[in-house]
Structure 1
Amino acid sequence: MEIRQLKTFINIVKLGNFSHAAQFSGYTQSTVTTHIQLLEKELDTLLFERFGQQISLTEDGQHLYKYAEKIVKLEDEAKNALNKSNIPHGPLIIGMPESICVFRMPSLLKEYNTLYPDVELKIKFGTSNDFHILLRKKVMDLALFLEPSINDSDLINTALWPEPLVFVTSPNHELATVNELYPKMLADQTLVLVESDSSYRVILEKILQKENVHLKTVLEIGQIEAIKQIIMQNLGITLLPLVSVAKELDANKLVLLPWKGPDIKLSAFLVHHKDRWINHSMKAFIKLLKERLINIQR
């Protein structure tokens, strides 16, 4: 029985299936399957009941899960107790929205990797909803949220910077020359938006619902770069963080639509679970982030 097999087993239980555990751990799905097969062979039992794509723990699997969590926790405690060095090392998993990672964090991530080459840094894209789940399941160490505010009692958060949001479209769009954009002007327009659980999309949809505005078409695209390409082809209007479209606005590839509806205000927050032990790798990242905060906000 190997620690990595137990960690794979724990991740499957927490994330709900083999493929999600493989993706999160950086393994192939065949490797994850092999880890479980080896555990089941060594323990001479089945750990999961399989019903098509659905899985559930067997009774023996439930017993093993209790011990597996204790064993993995003891391994971490032993490493921390025996390692006298304060040099950051080992895995560090951080969740970030695409806009923060791609448009604000590249220099900091490069510097962190240079300073701490022994840290196995993994960046996971997603929304605040994704990060809530993963932080609470303790399979993610830190996360950067984009939210109006954070009030969860089990999450420790630090406000970092305000993140301005803007409506943009193609210079050839019929609304490109308007001096003011009101919610009612979005009726019968095509909006190209990020995932449905993205914080700023949720806020926008609440505003439109309150204003009784019905959109003609909503295209949901998972990547900001893809959204920008579609908008530049004059296929609609989008709402994105200003930092993600600044270059296109400067190059006149996109134009700003002056929003006159209710404010859509978000800020970036650094978040971790209140019960998460802050190891040296996490401390180093938090420290570097605070030291580079002024540069990151530019």
Structure 2
Amino acid sequence: MEIRQLKTFMSIVKLGNFSQAAQFLGYTQSTVTTHIQLLEKELNTVLFERFGHQLMLTTDGERLYDYADRITKLAEDAKNQLDNFDVPRGPLIVGMPESLCVYHLTELLKEYASLYPDVELKLKFGIGSDFRMLLRKNMMDLAFFLEENIKDSDLVSEFLWPEPIVMLASPGHPLAKLECVQAKDLREQTLIFTESGSNYRTVLEESLAKAAVRPRTVLEICQIQTIKQFVISSLGITVLPLVAAKEELAAGMLVALPWQGPDFNTNAHLVYHKDKWLSRTIQSFIRLVQERLLK
């Protein structure tokens, strides 16, 4: 029985299926399956059973989870207590929205990797709701949030900077000719978004719902670069951080629409769980963020 097998087992339980656990851990799905098969063979039992599409723990699986939780925590505690090295090392899992990574954090991540080559830096893209779950399950060390405020009592947050958000269209789009754009003007328009749950997308969707406005189509695309290309091609309009569109705005490929609805603007925060043990690796990352990014 290996610690990594137990961690794989716990990740499946926390995330609900093999494929998400594989994606989170950076394994192939076959590797995750092999880990579970080896555990089941060694323990001479079955750990999971399926009811339709639902994955459930067997009774033995539930018993193993309690042991696995204690074993992995003891292993981590031992590592933390016995690690007397001054140089940060080991894994560091950091969550962040794509826009922050690409347009704000690239140089910082490059510098951190150069300063601390023994750290295994793992980046997870997503949104606040994903990060909250992973921080609370101790499956993520730190996360960058794009939200107006962080009010969760179990999370520690540090304000970094305000993040302006803009509504974008191609210069030839009919809405680009208006002196102001309101919720009613978005009726029968095609909206192009990143994944659901982003703060500024939620603000716009709530504004449209309040005005009883239904867009013609909502396209959900995970890549910001693809979203911009679609908007440049007049396939729809979008809402993105201003920093993500600065080059296209300066080149005249995109225009910022004069939105007259609720404010989209949000803030960047660095967040971790209040019960998280801040290792040297985590402390060094927080310190570099404070030195390079606090404004």
TM-score by length of 2: 0.96
Does 205-214 or 247-256 show the bigger shift? 205-214
CA distance in 2 between counterparts of 1:148 and 1:277 reads: 26
Q: C-alpha deviations, 1:246-272, integer Å up to 9, x for none?
A: 111011111111222221231111111
Which residue of the partner structure matches residue 111 of structure 1? 111
Does 121-130 or 189-198 show the bigger shift? 189-198
The SS at the match of 1:122 is strand
The reply to whether residue 259 of structure 1 matches residue 259 of structure 2 is yes
Q: C-alpha deviations, 1:121-161, integer Å up to 9, x for none?
A: 11111111111111111111111111121111111111111
CA distance in 2 between counterparts of 1:30 and 1:128 reads: 29
Specify the code of the residue in structure 1 equivalent to 2:216.
K
The SS at the match of 1:42 is helix
The reply to whether residue 225 of structure 1 matches residue 225 of structure 2 is yes
Which residue of the partner structure matches residue 248 of structure 1? 248
The reply to whether residue 164 of structure 1 matches residue 171 of structure 2 is no
Which residue of the partner structure matches residue 132 of structure 1? 132
Which residue of the partner structure matches residue 19 of structure 2? 19
CA distance in 1 between counterparts of 2:158 and 2:17 reads: 32
The SS at the match of 1:121 is strand
CA distance in 1 between counterparts of 2:49 and 2:175 reads: 56
Which residue of the partner structure matches residue 275 of structure 1? 275
Which residue of the partner structure matches residue 75 of structure 1? 75
Following superposition of structure 1 onto structure 2, how do residues 1-298 of structure 1 map, counting pairs within 5 Å?
1-293=1-293
CA distance in 2 between counterparts of 1:2 and 1:121 reads: 22
CA distance in 2 between counterparts of 1:11 and 1:189 reads: 41
Specify the code of the residue in structure 1 equivalent to 2:119.
V
The SS at the match of 1:68 is helix
Residue 103 of structure 1 and its aligned partner are, at CA, apart by: 1.1
In structure 1, stretches of 5+ residues that fail to align are none
CA distance in 1 between counterparts of 2:184 and 2:31 reads: 53
CA distance in 1 between counterparts of 2:216 and 2:54 reads: 37
Residue 225 of structure 1 and its aligned partner are, at CA, apart by: 1.0
Residue 176 of structure 1 and its aligned partner are, at CA, apart by: 1.8
Residue 78 of structure 1 and its aligned partner are, at CA, apart by: 1.1
Specify the code of the residue in structure 2 equivalent to 1:94.
V
CA RMSD of aligned residues (A): 1.4
CA distance in 2 between counterparts of 1:111 and 1:252 reads: 33
In structure 2, stretches of 5+ residues that fail to align are none
How many residues are treated as equivalent by the alignment? 295
Specify the code of the residue in structure 2 equivalent to 1:34.
T
Residue 188 of structure 1 and its aligned partner are, at CA, apart by: 2.4
The SS at the match of 1:158 is strand
Does 95-104 or 187-196 show the bigger shift? 187-196
The SS at the match of 1:175 is helix
Cα pair 2:165 2:240 within 8 Å, conserved:
yes
